[in-house]
Amino acid sequence: MVRVRFAPSPTGSLHVGNCRTAVLNWIFAKKMKGRFILRIEDTDVERSTQVSEKGIIEDLKWLSLYWDEGPEIGGDYGPYHQSERLEIYRKEAVKLLNEGKACRCFCTQEELEKEKEERLKKGLPPKYSGKCLNLSKKEIDRLISTGKEFSIRFHVDSEDVEVNDLVMGDINFKSDVISDFIILRSNGRASYNFAVVVDDIFMGITHVIRGSDHLSNTPKQILLYRAFNKKIPEFAHIPMITGINGNRLSKRDGTVSVREYREMGILPEALINFLSLLSWSSPTGEEILSVDRLIGEFDFSRISKSPAAFDIKKLLWMNGYYIRNYDKKKLTELILPYFYGKNVENLYDVVDTISDNLECLAQAPEKSEIFVTDNIKFDKNVDKSILKDKEARNILSLVLNKLDEIDDFSEENLTNVLKNIIKESGVKTKNFLQILRLALTGKNQGPEIVKIIKIFGKEKCKRFIEYVLSMNIIN
C-alpha cells in the first residue's frame, strides 16, 4: 500500500510552497488509495513552537487535507512528533555504531571549523577529515572516561549514489563529495537526515514527495537506507515556487503564508486547484479542476522539472471563478465575518448581487458599500450634473411615483415595472438605467439595477431619489 507523508517543521506558519507539497502528497495518496501521514518534525527545539504546529494543523483542516495517521488521531506507526521519537533515533544510531558504519566523533565545533578552513585554503572540499574513524578502542574508552562529549558520525562508503527521481530523473552523486555526516549530536538529538530516514523506514513510507530543496539531502538519506539494509522509497522532488520574475518567492509577489490567503478570503478549493497547477498540468489543458479531477488525473510524469512562478493574479482570477460558482448560502456564511461590526440587512441578497465581481471575500464590504451606507455618496469621477436635466428629473419622478404603488419587490416584478416605466418615459433603456443607477448609487457601474432596488427596499430607494430631486444638493 502506498504510504506518503507530509512532514512540516513547525517553525512558522504554513508556507504556500510547503502547502503545495502537502496537496500533492494528499492527492497522490487518494489516487493510489493509500495513506497520507502527517509527521511533525519538531526536533529543532529552539525554533519549533506549539503555535506554529497548531496553525499548520488548522490550515490543513481548512483545506480538508485530512490525514490518516498523525497528531490528534494517532495511528499504528506513532508517535508522530519527532520530539517523542528521540529514543528510537538513539537506538538506531547505536546500531550503526556497533556495526562499524558510524563512529564516535570527539571533535569540538572549533576543531571542525579550523579543519574546514585549512582544507579550503588548500583548495580541498570542506569535508570531514575522518580523524575520529581511526581512533583505537583504548583511545575511545579513555576519552569517554574523561567525560569528553561526542556525537555519532555516519561513515560514507565509497560507492556513488544514484537518485532515480520520479520528477527530476536519474541523478548521480559522487560519494567523494559527501562528507561523513553527524547522525546524533552530542546533546542526544538526531540530525535532520537521520531522523527523516529512521522515521520513513519505521513508518513504512513508500514515496517521499517533497520540495526540490531537499534533493541535495537525498544521497545522504539513500546511504542510510543502504546502511540499514532497507528498501529505498521512491523519491519525487517537486520544483521550487518562484516569484513572477523567476526570483525567490517573496512578499513582493503576494503573501507566502496560507493563513493570510485564508484571511483574504481565498476559498480552499481555489487554493488547492491553484497550487496543484504549479508545475503540474492536466492533460486536457484545463485549469479549473475539482479535487476529484485532480485526483483522477494526477501523474508524476506531468510534473515539469523547472520552477513554477506564483502568479497572484491567476490565483485571484481562479478564486473569482470559485466564488461565482459557490453555493450562495454557504458563501454568505463565509462572508459574514468580513462585515463584523457593520449592520447589513439582507446579506444573502447582497452576496448574491456582488459575488460575480469578487476576487476574494475580503473585498465584499467594499463592493457592497452602497448597501451599507445610508447616505448617497457620489463617486469622484461621475458627472452629477446630468441629474439636473429635465429628462433625468422626469425619469426619477416616474420611478418615485411607481415605488409608492408597488409592494412586490421580487426581481421579476421589478423587471416588469421598470420595463413599463421605460416605455412610458420614451427614454432609451441605457440612458434611463444610467440615470437611475446614478441616483441610487452615486456610481456609473455596479450590480444589476433590479437587484439594487430589491435590496434597498422601498424606503431607501425613495429617500435617495427624493434627495437627488431636491436639486439644491446637486452643485
Positions marked catalytic: 251
Which of 81, 131, 214, 443 is close enough to bind ligand GLU by CB under 6 A? 214
Task: Report in angstroms how near the CB of residue 210 gets to ligand GLU at its nearest.
Answer: 4
Task: Report in angstroms how near the CB of residue 22 gets to ligand GLU at its nearest.
Answer: 10
196 in contact with ligand GLU (CB under 6 A): yes
9 in contact with ligand GLU (CB under 6 A): yes
101 in contact with ligand GLU (CB under 6 A): no
**Residue 447: DSSP 8-state:** S
Which of 4, 7, 414, 427 is close enough to bind ligand GLU by CB under 6 A? 7
Distance between CA atoms of residues 319 and 332, nearest Å: 16
CB of 14 or CB of 97, closer to ligand GLU: 14
Which of these ranges, 3-11, 159-167, 450-458, 462-470, lies near ligand GLU under the rule CB under 6 A?
Answer: 3-11
210 in contact with ligand GLU (CB under 6 A): yes
Strands (E), 79-179: 102-105, 151-154, 161-165, 169-173
239 in contact with ligand GLU (CB under 6 A): no
Nearest Cα to 54, choosing from 87, 91, 81, 34?
81
Distance between CA atoms of residues 443 and 376, nearest Å: 10
Task: Report in angstroms how near the CB of residue 52 gets to ligand GLU at its nearest.
Answer: 11
Pairing mode of beta strands 35-38, 3-6: parallel
| String of contacts with ligand GLU for each residue 102-141, x by CB under 6 A | ----------------------------------------
Which of these ranges, 7-15, 130-138, 262-270, 336-344, lies near ligand GLU under the rule CB under 6 A?
Answer: 7-15
Task: Report in angstroms how near the CB of residue 11 gets to ligand GLU at its nearest.
Answer: 8
Contact 323, 269 (CB under 8 A): no
CB of 210 or CB of 220, closer to ligand GLU: 210
Size of the site for ligand GLU (CB under 6 A): 7
Task: Report in angstroms how near the CB of residue 211 gets to ligand GLU at its nearest.
Answer: 7
3 in contact with ligand GLU (CB under 6 A): no
Task: Report in angstroms how near the CB of residue 17 gets to ligand GLU at its nearest.
Answer: 9
Which of these ranges, 4-12, 46-54, 264-272, 294-302, lies near ligand GLU under the rule CB under 6 A?
Answer: 4-12
Q: Which three cell numbers stand for residue 474?
A: 446637486
Which of these ranges, 2-10, 278-286, 429-437, 455-463, lies near ligand GLU under the rule CB under 6 A?
Answer: 2-10
Which of 17, 28, 30, 41 is close enough to bind ligand GLU by CB under 6 A? 41
Q: Name every residue whose Cβ is closer than 8 Å to that of residue 250 and which is 6 or more positions away in sequence.
A: 243, 256
**In the block, residue with C-alpha cell 494517532:** 74
What residues make contact with ligand GLU under the rule CB under 6 A? Answer: 7-9, 41, 196, 210, 214
